[in-house]
Amino acid sequence: MDKDDPKKFNISSAQVWPILAFIPLIVILVSFILGGWSWGLMDDYKFMNIPGNILQRIMSVFPTSISTGRVVPVYYVHAAIFYKIFAYSPTAFYIFRWVECVFALGLWALLASRVTRSQFAAPLFLLVALSFYKTYDAVFFLSTNEILGVLFFGLSATFFLNAFEQRLENGGRVRKWPFLFGIFFLLLAVGCKEPFFAVMAALGGGSIVVSFIHRKKGLMGFGIASLLTAIGYAIFLRVLVVKDYSATYASINFNVIGQNILVWVRNDLAYHTPWILLAAILMIFVKSSSLKRWTATRLWMFMVGSIAYIAYVLILLPWSTWGHYATPLGIFFAFTIAVLLADRVEALRPAHFIALAVGSFVFALVVSASALRFHSVYQYDTANLMKWLATNSLFEHEMALGAVVRGNAWEPCETIVAQVNGIYGKGYKNFVFTPNVREILADPRTRYYLWGPKWGDQDLSRLGEMWTPMFVSDHWVLFRRMN
């Protein structure tokens, strides 16, 4: 290390920073390799038990798509293939999902590095993304499909960059094949989950902005076409698709929107805040004279990332701005921050850079450790609960007599029973999803109530002394009516 050359110090440090950025992911991979991971409580068991070969499985899931209020063909194909391949090894599926997530994150990290021409963009992106708690839902929830949309959007943005870079930088021609591949992967991204039409709008909006600022011909038409297509697809979803599963999506339900704004502030924004403060400090104190000139390409990708984040939040507001739905927000935000700040980080003095490197690493490590602990304990508690349900003689006897079991979350009510029946050979009826405690008290047939603290905050004092906990863990409490 040459103390007299701060730039030399930083460049050598840039080789170490990516290693720090990957440590949280390596820790999670080791936990998967050590084993003990089983199917989750969303759609895992449903997809695993679809009969037939891969083609038959694909054909069986498509008819239930639009009719149930969903348009996710790429996700269904992915599920039909890989739940078949990994049907007998959930641990292997977790490792495969980890690889998918690393590929998606790495792709966006390389894209940030390319448009900024800075070695610091990639590790900065990774640390920002890995300090967002809901990024880890993509790793731990096998049946979530947001990370697939992020992956295909990253591929699409990369190919569009290859197609338009010469036109943006020196007025050259638009390359045909990268452009066509960009469209292909963009369609795949939108086919992963409905809200990803936001990324189509982001490409369109970013292209229009850059065309106005830099007077670049050839990008305006692409931008207008992308934006209009996104609007048309949004109308199609709203008019013809929103039903059944998505029936509660109401774009003018201001009560729900207001609640989700608060959720976004308390959760998403809370993880963004340290990076926003860092951005403000670097924008104020790092002299612009030491920075690289922003190219039209960099501005384009910065606008795409920014608009993608804003558009995705707006689409989620009538639905949910937390849970696995928020996973793309962590990636879009991280990309925007990396493109904005990469060269400012590169211009830092050694002491300041070390403080940033250590602080960002600790932040990401703490968040990842928290996520790993939550999901590992959740898996352990759920496995123990299912074993209790299958082996407790009193519970089995009362279920045979027609006892009703209620729970405060829809997915556990259906999936826990399915797994107990499949793994232990039982024939239990589905538990009844009941979000309000008062409905339990009004039904004398209800013998058990499965309470998951993470699924709601109802006042359990209403249960009174007649309900006694039979199974207790961090994530589950099973109450039994004692009269």
Assign 96 a pLDDT band (cuts: 50, 70, 90): very high
b/e map of 338-364 (b: 16 or more CB within 10 Å)? bbbbbbbbbbbebebbeebbeebbebb
Residue located via tokens 């849970």 = 323
Q: Are 202 and 227 within 8 A, CB to CB?
A: no
- Whether 366 has a pLDDT exceeding 70, the answer reads yes
Q: Are 148 and 75 within 8 A, CB to CB?
A: yes
**H/E stretch holding 447:** strand 446-451
The mean pLDDT value for 32-61 works out to 86
- Whether 6 has a pLDDT exceeding 60, the answer reads no
Reported as a single tens digit per residue, the pLDDT across 154-187 is 999 999 999 999 999 888 899 999 999 999 999 9
Reported as a single tens digit per residue, the pLDDT across 268-289 is 999 999 999 999 999 999 987 7
* Contacts with 383 (C-beta within 8 Å, 6 or more apart), sequence order: 38
Reported as a single tens digit per residue, the pLDDT across 224-260 is 999 999 999 999 999 989 888 888 888 888 999 999 9
3-class secondary structure, 336: helix
3-class secondary structure, 481: strand
How many C-beta neighbours within 10 Å does residue 66 have?
A: 15
The mean pLDDT value for 126-152 works out to 97
Reported as a single tens digit per residue, the pLDDT across 287-325 is 877 788 899 999 999 999 999 999 999 999 999 998 899
Displacement of CA 42 from its chain's centroid (Å)? 14
The token pair that represents 334 in the structure block: 């991280």
Q: Are 300 and 206 within 8 A, CB to CB?
A: yes
- Whether 11 has a pLDDT exceeding 60, the answer reads no
Residue 12's pLDDT is: 58
Reported as a single tens digit per residue, the pLDDT across 380-397 is 999 999 999 999 999 999
Q: Are 175 and 162 within 8 A, CB to CB?
A: yes
Q: Are 278 and 341 within 8 A, CB to CB?
A: yes
Assign 431 a pLDDT band (cuts: 50, 70, 90): very high
Q: Are 44 and 142 within 8 A, CB to CB?
A: yes
Residue 437's pLDDT is: 81
Alpha helices in 392-433 (DSSP H): 393-400, 410-424
Across the chain, what does the average pLDDT equal? 91
Count CA atoms closer than 13 A to 472's CA, side-chain side: 3
Residue 41's pLDDT is: 76
